[in-house]
Structure 1
Amino acid sequence: MRIGWKLALVGLLLLLLLVPLMMLSGLVTERQQRGQEVAAEIARATAGEQALVGPLLLVEAEHRTEHRRVVNRGGHMSQETEETVQPFHYLVAPEQLAVTGSLRSERRGRSLFSVPVFHASQKLTGRFRHVPPPVDAGQLQPKRAWLVLGLGDNRGVRRISLELAGKAIAVEPGSRVAWLGEGLHAAVPLAALDGGLPFSVDLDLTGTGSLAWVPVGGETSVSLAGDWPHPGFEGHHLPDQREVGDSGFSARWAVSRLSSRVSQALAACAPSDGRCEGVFEGAFGLRLVEPVDRYLMTERAIKYALLFLGLVFGAVFLVEALAARPVHFVQYGLTGLAMAMFYLLLLSLSEHIGFGPAYAAAAVACSSLLGFYLAGVLGGRGRGLGFGLGLAALYGLLYLLLRSEDHALLVGSGVLFAALAAVMALTRRVDWHTLGRT
């Protein structure tokens, strides 16, 4: 068979092998979706993502305004004063808010899928200074007040105790603020509004996914330590200090009202509004990141499949051309199917033993199989052993590319350049015009 026809058939075979690779990619997507469904089910049964807003001081007041009008009574003109009273609600943010806590994690799952669940013990301390907001006319007279704390999911509350000015106060469900949704509240005596109002909240909170805080205080500081070794810090503010190790993490945030727009957003939002633009945009916190997402890593590995097939097919074709050892089209096909099986083994094994061990087992199995097979196809144990070792080296390189995403392009381009240079060096004296003529 002429070399041109052989190259065309090998290229056609590469395109045909994309079909099982696409099916494998679809299988990975399906398993990813199933994992997300299980995570959502666990969140529904436990508690979802948690975001703390507050504590805030909610005050219900009467807005009293006086209107003067001139009336005519029996030809006598006189002035009368009419007073109108309307309900008025407003929020007061704490002057200082300090959060200290610890986080403990555990894994909960169903079948082959599991998600991390966190249990955070937090102490929130601070101080309010009641300053009514300015009004256009009239005056505000407070009638009732509550301390409110917004949460992401009330089901995660395991224990809470609240003290105001050193006195314990009962906590009730519901935030009483429309745009907060989930949350808690506690009644505040009106007499406490006259002076400074210190508070202390002890809260044990469970959740999944992420834990965040909204910096509502004039000065907000958060210190948290936990046993999760792979925290992903996110949000509008990153921690000023952080330490991450195999045993866990510790982090500290400090946010001033001068560096956050939360205070302005709170002032612009009424408690009865359905939404409060800008408040949650200033949130910060952390997410429990999975160290190795087996499905994401497998999906990334499949993206290199066509490149691997091209390198191996090219190497087999090169040996066939230089050693005058014909390789049948079917033998190319079996070689490609064996390489495609690597990704199926990787996916199935990673669900049971983890991505790293699964990758090693699948790489050893496929390299050994192809080394044994190509030893017979290419006519020699040395050639088969060389292909097996070369393929193992390629799998090792791919693993490094998957684990070092920042250097993937650099390493990949270097390897491709080295492969091209090797082919050009080995074939620089080959007469391609006469090669493969029958």
Structure 2
Amino acid sequence: METKGIQQFMNSYSVKMIIVSGLAILLLIPSFLIQDVIRQRIALSEKVKNELYAQWGGKQVVAGPVLNVPFTIQEKTEVNQGMTERKGIAHFLPETLKTDGSLAPEKRKRGIYEVVVYEGSIKLKGLFLQPDVSQLDIPNAQFNWDAAYFTLGISDMRGIKNLPELVVNGQKYKVDPGVADTDIFQSGITIKANSIDLKQPLNFEINLVLNGSEDLSVEALGKTSEVSMKSDWAQPSFTGVFLPSDRNITSNGFTANWMVTHLNRNFPQQWVDKKFNTHEALLGVELLIPIDHYQKAMRSVKYAILFIALNFIIFIFIEMKSKNRIHPFQYSLVAFALLIFYALLTSISEQAGFNLAYLISAVAVTSLISWYSYTILKDRRSVVWITLLQTGLYIFLFTILQLQDYALLAGSIGLFVILAIIMRASQQIKWYSEG
């Protein structure tokens, strides 16, 4: 009698629910392992992308030009009341700066990995006024106008594909690689201004052809800066601290225009040495590849607990209605089939794209669970309900994955509806019937 009582207790649905609930939580461990696998694949993808970027050209930032004038100043020393010479560089920004950029993007592949690169054509033109050294507040400074030079910042010099020349008041001047000082730019080009008359307004123009990857940005260094960019890429993301004043995005590409004045920045038109950082005036565009399969796979695996819980609930309901006993090991096999979906989705999407991989994986797992359910229950009606559940869940998950801005809203509403259905179904169960 005691053995029979223990057996009845172990076979009770209350104990079964506790065991199944613990099993569902335990089976979340494989889902975390699958997430680790996806992270490893993402890390490998980023490594391959960086290798391609290094060979083609990285994210490009173009800034300038800036007029730089070295100076010296005699200062008294505190030790012996003698004189010492201090050197510095005064930096002058253009009065007006107009930047026209055109990007010709293309996709590059290495193995199964894909990146977007571009060849950018950038035209810079504007005006420098005669430098006003009185605004610098450095009395007794001796400016070496013969050693003045222009610098133009370019973040990745490997991407330069032409031999640019700076045109000042109609005259062409050759450029030298590297920047003569690193007060403002860490890399770029330099143009000596010793033969240029700096006591008059200077109209300048320079054309650059750059290879770059994903992102092209410029710095709004003019007292008035106008920037325009265009491309036939249909998925742009505008970056930096300034958004375009107007933009037009279609399936054939985009155009965007910015208008920035010196009042929008936190640095003046002239200063000495490294007093200010111009990177806060950055603006540009990033050529996005829409959410890739790794990101979608990572988002989908986070719903593993939902799939496992709902399948376990419907199996318990079927078990209580039909009086067929389902062993916890059989619950585990169903859960593992659900987890295999995410492994299939990740691996197939690397070869065939996310949507096709999702379809193949969902059909395969749904068919497997439906077949296995029939071998256990021997009830076509129950198997139909299980198949409909799997189909509905995969359609629900796919819909959420396609939504970006409304994914949270759709997911919340969907979960609410699912809970309402479960609550309604639970009313048909006799919870205290052990017969």
Taking structure 2 as the reference length, the TM-score comes to 0.89
Instruction: Identify unmatched segments of 5+ residues in structure 2.
Output: 1-10, 77-81
Partner of 1:208: 213
Decide whether aligned partners of structure 1 residues 278 and 86 sit closer, same or farther in structure 2, where only a CA change above 3 A counts: closer
Q: Which of 25, 50, 63 lines up with 1:53 in the alignment?
A: 63
Matches within 5 A, 1:172-187: 172-179=176-183, 180-187=185-192
Matches within 5 A, 1:193-204: 193-204=198-209
Contact 1:144 1:190 (C-alpha < 8 Å) held by counterparts: no
Q: What is the Cα deviation at residue 124 of structure 1? A: 0.6
Partner of 1:126: 126
Write out per-residue CA displacement over residues 89-118 of structure 1, whole angstroms, 9 at most, x where no aligned residue. 211111111011210112223222222112
Distance 1:433 1:345 in 2: 40
Partner of 1:70: none
Partner of 1:117: 117
Q: What is the Cα deviation at residue 241 of structure 1? A: 1.1
Say which SS state the counterpart of residue 290 (structure 1) adopts.
Answer: coil
Write out per-residue CA displacement over residues 16-58 of structure 1, whole angstroms, 9 at most, x where no aligned residue. 3122211111100100111111122122222221111101111
Distance 2:428 2:342 in 1: 37
Decide whether aligned partners of structure 1 residues 279 and 311 sit closer, same or farther in structure 2, where only a CA change above 3 A counts: same
Superposition RMSD in Å? 2.3
Q: Which of 11, 14, 18 lines up with 2:28 in the alignment?
A: 18
* Aligned: 1:247 with 2:252: yes
Amino acid at match of 1:99: T
* Aligned: 1:153 with 2:163: no
Contact 2:89 2:272 (C-alpha < 8 Å) held by counterparts: no
Partner of 1:79: none
Decide whether aligned partners of structure 1 residues 133 and 433 sit closer, same or farther in structure 2, where only a CA change above 3 A counts: same
Amino acid at match of 1:145: A
Partner of 1:305: 304
Write out per-residue CA displacement over residues 174-205 of structure 1, whole angstroms, 9 at most, x where no aligned residue. 11121411100111244421111111111001
Distance 1:389 1:221 in 2: 58
Instruction: Identify unmatched segments of 5+ residues in structure 1.
Output: 67-81
Contact 1:97 1:124 (C-alpha < 8 Å) held by counterparts: yes
Partner of 1:402: 401
Amino acid at match of 1:158: K
Decide whether aligned partners of structure 1 residues 205 and 191 sit closer, same or farther in structure 2, where only a CA change above 3 A counts: closer
* Aligned: 1:162 with 2:166: yes
Decide whether aligned partners of structure 1 residues 349 and 88 sit closer, same or farther in structure 2, where only a CA change above 3 A counts: same
Say which SS state the counterpart of residue 176 (structure 1) adopts.
Answer: coil
Contact 2:88 2:272 (C-alpha < 8 Å) held by counterparts: no
Decide whether aligned partners of structure 1 residues 16 and 88 sit closer, same or farther in structure 2, where only a CA change above 3 A counts: closer
Contact 2:225 2:261 (C-alpha < 8 Å) held by counterparts: yes
* Aligned: 1:40 with 2:50: yes
Distance 2:262 2:88 in 1: 25
Contact 2:90 2:271 (C-alpha < 8 Å) held by counterparts: no
Q: What is the Cα deviation at residue 65 of structure 1? A: 9.2
Decide whether aligned partners of structure 1 residues 24 and 85 sit closer, same or farther in structure 2, where only a CA change above 3 A counts: closer
Bigger strand fraction: 1
Range moving further from structure 2, 156-165 or 129-138: 129-138
Decide whether aligned partners of structure 1 residues 139 and 5 sit closer, same or farther in structure 2, where only a CA change above 3 A counts: closer
Contact 1:103 1:121 (C-alpha < 8 Å) held by counterparts: yes
Distance 2:272 2:380 in 1: 77
Decide whether aligned partners of structure 1 residues 351 and 408 sit closer, same or farther in structure 2, where only a CA change above 3 A counts: same
Distance 1:43 1:293 in 2: 18
Contact 1:65 1:138 (C-alpha < 8 Å) held by counterparts: no
Distance 1:252 1:381 in 2: 63
Say which SS state the counterpart of residue 64 (structure 2) adopts.
Answer: strand
Contact 2:67 2:149 (C-alpha < 8 Å) held by counterparts: yes
Q: What is the Cα deviation at residue 363 of structure 1? A: 1.4
Q: What is the Cα deviation at residue 220 of structure 1? A: 0.6
Partner of 1:425: 424
Contact 2:366 2:391 (C-alpha < 8 Å) held by counterparts: yes
Distance 2:428 2:305 in 1: 28
Distance 1:15 1:310 in 2: 9
Distance 1:154 1:408 in 2: 41
Distance 1:147 1:25 in 2: 51
Contact 1:372 1:385 (C-alpha < 8 Å) held by counterparts: no
Contact 1:57 1:148 (C-alpha < 8 Å) held by counterparts: yes
Distance 1:269 1:376 in 2: 82
Decide whether aligned partners of structure 1 residues 269 and 131 sit closer, same or farther in structure 2, where only a CA change above 3 A counts: closer
Q: What is the Cα deviation at residue 63 of structure 1? A: 4.8
Partner of 2:8: none
Number of equivalent positions:
415
Contact 2:265 2:280 (C-alpha < 8 Å) held by counterparts: no
Range moving further from structure 2, 244-253 or 120-129: 244-253
Q: What is the Cα deviation at residue 303 of structure 1? A: 0.8
Say which SS state the counterpart of residue 158 (structure 1) adopts.
Answer: coil
Matches within 5 A, 1:257-406: 257-261=262-266, 263-264=267-268, 267-270=270-273, 273=274, 277-406=276-405
Q: What is the Cα deviation at residue 355 of structure 1? A: 1.5
Range moving further from structure 2, 57-66 or 378-387: 57-66
Decide whether aligned partners of structure 1 residues 388 and 161 sit closer, same or farther in structure 2, where only a CA change above 3 A counts: farther
Partner of 1:103: 103
Distance 1:170 1:190 in 2: 12
